[in-house]
Structure 1
């Protein structure tokens, strides 16, 4: 690692407030492990990613017609958008298409219409892409619904609608309606809004029960957050019922952050003869993350080790993972009593509260974030250089949860930087978990005893001497 890149990793804003962000939020004595709610996680990503993320993954394009020429664009002008739409795009701060937009937008705007299945995560510009497609697609002179977009939750629908409203700011004749809970419409009245976005249940009611939308007049159907949709009770079947009412020539746009088998089976029922855009996933590697474990006797012993490590925690920024809300609340309070500035993040907070905590952490107001698994996936804070597993992740059977472990320590070592992970071991069972993780990832761990905590401080401070010692203790006794 160069001196410049290391300096960039540690150059974070000094803490400007002594306020502890977890104060004022209720804590809980529940012992249940926090589970990630996919819909909440997606909304959280939308709230904290106001600009495009730097995605290094390559885009793979599979065309329905392999003989058709493949078009991509480097500028929005190449799309020959209406002037008012181009003005809206630039007004939102988009200077050039993102990587996925380069390939997706020509397909979305093509004539004749083309169907598309696309893999795209939050922050890559996919919402802006299909919003632009819908705004370009509608005929303002036709006062009926032409574009239909469904999202898995009320909050996600509102977020997408805000993007459409912003981008269509200079298109006064194009109207948007929200098919969401609480938005009561008069039965039998036909909607005049050209674009409708909503949740599957309400959209289905508007099409069938209340007859507000004529499904046969829909010419573009967008299904967003498909993986979240599948995980939400009933949404998959409702989406299929809506799809069955649409005309055969309706353009289908299907988006999902992941492409597991269940998502593919769902997509096959929705999108005929699709073009496919997916991210070429880089190998999940731990090469840039150096990992340790520390032998401790009990919770208080782990806390002492953490306090000894605290100088290393605040070199840049650190995330400390606990399994339960109760443990996270105890740890944050204990660190605060020791005079440390920490933030607390757990699923008991609203998504908006969580977003506010992450923004404070990202800006450097707090350099240490204590969290449960609600922050283990998808949250990129470039300055994070150290992850501590105060409690090791386990599944319902008490075995190592390797996926969660990977997601947790993956919060460091971002964007090609070097990261560090420290695991607290306090029993033979947790040592067994370490062994399971070690075997799963086929890697070596370095035992960092309590009397050698200063080693990681030295390693993090002087990158030119990274890991001059590379030993492995064969006897895993605790």
Structure 2
């Protein structure tokens, strides 16, 4: 599949179709005009948000779309998922098919070559069960729970490429994603997987494309964001929704958390034929996601992760009594000298404190990386990748890294500042996510909390009381550590 074969059938302001050697950072720099601006994932300039969503200076929180993109950028191979896959079939009497090799799917030789060229040797857990359903005849609808790094994007990309009838020069497969950047990530996978299948063409329904009304697209696959896709279907008439035979909705949990995207997605869905195959993917299956999925996907097969009871019993938790930030810093250095530490993550409440601590740790000779909210997504991905590779041993961060980022080697998490909400009470959920960065994959880990006031001690007591009734979350009383 050559670069020319993927050209858009519409006029564009700039080159928006990525090449096989796709460089997302250059793309985003160009979109943002290479300005160092703090914005949301769509490039909009926003007031900084505090941890509970209220505006507050110098507090960081990563939204769901940004977190998803960051994971896609730093995960170069499939993650190891210990959760078992549970399959609920629309027809319980139908035999349950799964595959252990891609050859069993009887793919076109061009696609099989693209799969192996992309680095997949055998199907992942989600691919084993999802691909037979997505490729089945007659078509079957699917709702699937799958996190970033499990091979989900490759699975539905392969399904779309297999679904296309190359003799038909109109859009047959439509995939929507919550953001511009996430749509480009999907397009990159499709392009790489289909590069030996030159008869299939791809178009991007994303912002920045100047389109001419009334000219029908000849590209068989369209990837885009809900607003632009809706315009292409209704305002510009580039796509005939009645000719769409496969509709993929990715990152559903992110989609419904983004203002307007939920309603736009439902409007697109209502324009499709009832026999159009519907595929919906989400990292989480909260009640709001289920309600949305039920509106969009009729009579589905369901694939979800069996929820093993979350245990943190491999993490030993302590607190250290200090007086002020300099005293906390001294305690941190003493702590670091008394433990055998592979890598450490240190959480601060504000960017200012994180910068101060990074400077002082660097002065002490530690290899330190800093991660905070004023950095671009690409800069954050680069920092985390270097940390994952062990080039820096200590990562000082705000809450932008409290969840969703897994580094096996982390053996110590330090709450330099305890997590609190806007009312000054314990933020128990953030605490759980923070300390969960250590003790990954069954390894032992330490979590140490710096207590510098009576209020901080009250926070520790609140955290302990909150989790004491939760089996296996905090199995022992937080112990005092003398350093």
Report TM bin, short chain: 0.7 to 0.9
Question: Residue 358 and residue 347 in structure 1: after superposition, are their counterparts in 2 closer, same or farther (change >3 A)?
Answer: same
Matched, 1:396 2:428: no
Secondary structure (helix, strand or coil) at the match of 1:33 reads coil
Give TM-score scaled by structure 1 length: 0.87
Matched, 1:102 2:123: no
State whether residues 178 and 261 of structure 2, in contact with CA within 8 Å, keep that contact through their aligned partners in structure 1: yes
- Give the corresponding residue for 1:438: 464
Give TM-score scaled by structure 2 length: 0.86
Deviations 1:165-202 (A, max 9, x none): 00001100100000000022211111000000000000
Q: 1:386 aligns with which of 412, 415, 437?
A: 412
Q: CA deviation at 1:398?
A: 2.0
Matched, 1:49 2:81: no
Matched, 1:281 2:307: yes
State whether residues 144 and 190 of structure 1, in contact with CA within 8 Å, keep that contact through their aligned partners in structure 2: yes
State whether residues 341 and 412 of structure 2, in contact with CA within 8 Å, keep that contact through their aligned partners in structure 1: no
Write out aligned runs for 1:175-194 (5 A): 175-194=201-220
State whether residues 293 and 445 of structure 1, in contact with CA within 8 Å, keep that contact through their aligned partners in structure 2: no
State whether residues 366 and 393 of structure 2, in contact with CA within 8 Å, keep that contact through their aligned partners in structure 1: no
Secondary structure (helix, strand or coil) at the match of 2:413 reads strand
- Give the corresponding residue for 2:479: 447
Distance 1:355 1:38 in 2: 15
Q: 1:272 aligns with which of 290, 295, 298?
A: 298
Matched, 1:245 2:277: no
Q: CA deviation at 1:350?
A: 0.7
Q: CA deviation at 1:312?
A: 5.1
Write out aligned runs for 1:413-428 (5 A): 413-428=439-454
- Give the corresponding residue for 1:3: none
Distance 1:388 1:331 in 2: 12
Matched, 1:62 2:88: yes
Matched, 1:206 2:232: yes
State whether residues 31 and 326 of structure 1, in contact with CA within 8 Å, keep that contact through their aligned partners in structure 2: no
Distance 1:291 1:334 in 2: 25
Matched, 1:405 2:439: no
Q: CA deviation at 1:300?
A: 1.5
Distance 2:311 2:349 in 1: 24
Distance 1:81 1:162 in 2: 20
Q: Which runs of 5+ in 2 are unaligned?
A: 1-35, 39-47, 49-55, 469-474
State whether residues 101 and 129 of structure 1, in contact with CA within 8 Å, keep that contact through their aligned partners in structure 2: yes
State whether residues 464 and 478 of structure 2, in contact with CA within 8 Å, keep that contact through their aligned partners in structure 1: no
- Give the corresponding residue for 2:326: 300
Write out aligned runs for 1:304-319 (5 A): 304-311=330-337, 315-319=341-345
Distance 2:466 2:310 in 1: 13
Matched, 1:363 2:395: no
Q: 2:97 aligns with which of 68, 71, 79?
A: 71
- Give the corresponding residue for 2:139: 113
Q: CA deviation at 1:446?
A: 4.3
Distance 2:466 2:108 in 1: 53
Distance 1:136 1:312 in 2: 57
* Segments of 4+ moved more than 4 angstroms: 25-28
**CA RMSD of superposed structures (Å):** 1.6
Q: Which runs of 5+ in 1 are unaligned?
A: 1-24, 454-478
- Give the corresponding residue for 1:229: 255
Larger relative contact order, structure 1 or 2 (CA cutoff 8 Å, min sep 6): 1
Distance 2:233 2:325 in 1: 56
